[in-house]
A and B are shown apart, each in its own frame.
Chain A
């Protein structure tokens, strides 16, 4: 792993199917200006079509749909910029409401 990569550990869980949640590790080449949401889209597009996350977003840090726990901090993933060489964990905010992986209900 070089400085030009990001290592992302992403929360995976399918309630009712998986016995327990786990983290899956993805090594992603870091492009300039990649956000955490951009990283999820990159993983979905090129590495893992099974990753579930909410793709409908305002994209400008308003609606809060994209809020995730990034390195254990509540952040808006659409405006959270990554740095090359970074190692991050990505988890849903409310694990009791997980539909699958990073997707939760808002009810």
Chain B
């Protein structure tokens, strides 16, 4: 393999979504040299293009009673008291300023007479969600333009991080593989910011782009970064899948099931309704109810149930009218399902929509590893055991700026670190050696799909000790299969198999950590449900932590950061 290129920068940002682009812009504005690597093209990969329209900020325009204090309380409570309150305080205090930055970059928010229009979403005391015209896709498009206006920032798209370089416990750079050429780029950096998104693709069912595999989080863990609350994955209950080769589409269940919309029913494979009477359950509870149908053998063989509006008491005419209003507005994608949803039952299953756990940060986006920062979905734990709608995008901007600023400050106060030559050489050789057919018959994608099935089955919306232990045994088997060597076609240019071979190691490491964290938390809280510990335990209002020391995963717990604010408002 060609050796590739050596580059030097002050701050290296990894990622191509809202947090990464905002971190790069901030670091550049602080006057340091910035480089950014992204696994896919910016705006065409990661989670931000997929985000709904919501950005939470307490402007108090739609209801003057709203303010950052109420926003703080809502976020703490809806996160089931597991979010670190210093991080929440930072988010609620700076959400407004960061929204105004976005507006300056060209993001268009829905407005009424010059005031922000703010929608009320579940979990909010007062209407607080700004609506971005064009959603996350428009937001990342504007950020990309702003990024390009900062001409000093060097962009490397279609580059996958293969490893972080560290000397004496400090991160001093990184190695990336240029997927377009098959050459490695070696970055010497005073600080590295990981804004690489979540780890949704550890599970078979999710609704995000397949670059969100958690591989960078796994690499951070391997250089000593503490991971926090990794068991916390937020499920969306009703995803529709074209086939087993496609990621899920969110089908908003309120539209199908609520009285004021289509008033249909959700039924299992036997045609039985399984919702308790009364109010429609919120996301985590509905996900669990569906999953319990799967576990009880009352779902389809694909592990799905149906939303059926033929059982609605509404007339065909009424339903058609509601449907027209939906597809003319927020429900445009209902037209893409290839079904007539007013007649055909829609087959759905819960899937991972957001990962709440991640790399542990403080308010500056610093990790416990000097030189390593994290922001956005990769960082944790801002949201706790459940995230309120609109807080994902807000967190990308607030912690993007904070990590960018802190990394720049570090860079200004130090000389460029020397590179660990042997580590660099070893890494380049490792990456090159992955690209060969060894004849073991094991392809990375097969290991990945098997891992996803295991996680789906045992580490889903309802977990228990027996299942989690079965998951761990299965993950160990997969690790052993990988150790025998993988078969990877020998093509340097845009070789998906090579990229997947790089991802699978850290994915398996991370999956093990997720299952062990879920085993450690012997309670149910938010989106983590243990059927053997169904209650929320006050003694478990604390974080699970894991750090890689020597060759071992060391698990512990830590108190939630509390600020002592009166939480009764």
Contact = CB atoms under 8 A, between A and B. Distances in A.
Given A44-B496, A45-B445, A60-B336, A78 B209 contact: no
A61 B333 contact: yes
Given A49-B443, A65-B44, A60 B496 contact: no
Nearest to A55: B210
A60 B249 contact: yes
A31 B445 contact: no
A29 to B, nearest CB: 11
Contacts of A57: 209-210, 247
A79 B336 contact: yes
A99 B242 CA distance: 28
A37 interface: yes
Contacts of B40: 54, 56, 65
A49 B497 contact: yes
A32 B89 CA distance: 49
Contacts of A105: 180
Contacts of B558: none
A56 B496 contact: no
A55 B496 contact: yes
Contacts of A49: 443, 445, 489, 496-497
B41 interface: yes
B137 A63 contact: yes
B243 A64 contact: no
A38 B246 contact: yes
Contacts of A99: 180, 493-494
B50 interface: yes
Contacts of A44: 445, 496
A100 B489 contact: no
Contact of B50 (A37, A54, A60): A60
B231 interface: no
B242 A63 contact: no
- Interface size for chain A: under 10, 10 to 19, 20 to 34, or 35 or more residues? 35 or more
Contacts of A78: 246
A53 B180 CA distance: 12
A33 B245 CA distance: 10
B338 A81 contact: yes
Contact of A59 (B246, B489, B493): B246
Interface string B484-500: 00000101011111000
Contact of B44 (A32, A35, A53, A64): A64
Interface in B322-355: 333, 336, 338
- Interface size for chain B: under 10, 10 to 19, 20 to 34, or 35 or more residues? 35 or more
Interface string B194-236: 0000000000000111110000000000000000000000000
Interface string A63-107: 111000000000000110100000000000000000111010110
Q: Helix, strand, loop or mixed for chain B's interface?
A: loop
A62 B333 CA distance: 9
Residue among B46, B209, B243, B247 with max Cβ neighbours from chain A (10 Å): B243
Residue among A54, A57, A58 with max Cβ neighbours from chain B (10 Å): A58
Contacts of B445: 44-45, 49
A45 B445 CA distance: 7
A31 B246 CA distance: 12
Contacts of A26: none
A30 to B, nearest CB: 10
A7 interface: no
Contacts of B505: none
A14 B209 contact: no
Given A38-B246, A78-B246, A60 B338 contact: no
B246 A58 contact: no
Nearest to B180: A99
A33 to B, nearest CB: 4
29 contacts: A34-B245, A35-B246, A37-B246, A44-B496, A45-B245, A45-B449, A49-B445, A50-B489, A52-B493, A54-B44, A56-B39, A56-B210, A56-B211, A57-B210, A57-B247, A58-B50, A59-B50, A59-B247, A59-B249, A60-B50, A60-B250, A60-B333, A61-B336, A63-B43, A63-B137, A65-B44, A99-B494, A106-B41, A106-B44
Given A49-B443, A60-B336, A99-B180, 5 more contacts: A33-B243, A38-B245, A55-B210, A58-B209, A59-B247
Interface of B: 39-41, 43-46, 49-50, 135, 137, 180, 207-211, 241-243, 245-250, 333, 336, 338, 443, 445, 449, 489, 491, 493-497
